[in-house]
Amino acid sequence: MDEIVHVINSANKTFTRKEWGEYCTKTRYDDQIRIRTQIGKYLFNDHDICLNPDVMSLVVKGGCKGYSYSVMLEWCDCGNGVWAYGVNYNTGDGGGGFSPRFTVPDEQRDWLRGYSTEQKCKIAACECALNRLGNSYHKDDKNVKRLMAMVEDYMKSIRRPKVVQLSLFD
């Protein structure tokens, strides 16, 4: 029995070492035959990364040497009752991040945990961004502090209840 070395959860496919090698060789020069899975409006590649997530970008202009400071929050619906997020951030001359990837409901790894609603997913993305910015080398930079305040404001707006307009004549 061959050992499974690669799994594409979004497409429900598994590959042995030989099959994965053949797939990579075959698709190396022809991107059109790579496995892509569409779930709702979201498209996932052969590494389960969402290629077209919903995005909220927060930017503070005017850093040193003309750098911008930014946070990009990304999220997508995995179509199985789970929402996933990604966070990318730039603190002038540093940064990091990751993209949202397809997640299964019973995933045990923290970095791949999904969320049951879009709201919970967005809040988790904000908390992750705040954690990464707060632990960065640039955490005392005034632009990073402004960026963190923007993320906190966005998180507060997510938590607010939706306004419902009532009408007397319906």
**CB-CB contact of 43 with 37 (8 Å):** yes
Tokens of 33: 């035959």
Per-residue pLDDT at 38 = 95
Ordered DSSP codes for 61-79 = ---GGG--EEEEEEEEE-S
The ranges assigned to domains in the chain are 4-35, 54-159
pLDDT < 70 stretches in the chain: 1, 62-66, 110-111, 170
Per-residue pLDDT at 167 = 79
**CB-CB contact of 64 with 91 (8 Å):** no
Task: Determine how many CB atoms are found less than 10 A away from the CB of residue 138.
Answer: 18
Statement: the pTM of the whole predicted model exceeds 0.75: yes
Burial class (CB in 10 A: 0-12, 13-18, 19+), 101: buried
Q: How many CA atoms lie within 13 A of 76 on its CB side?
A: 25
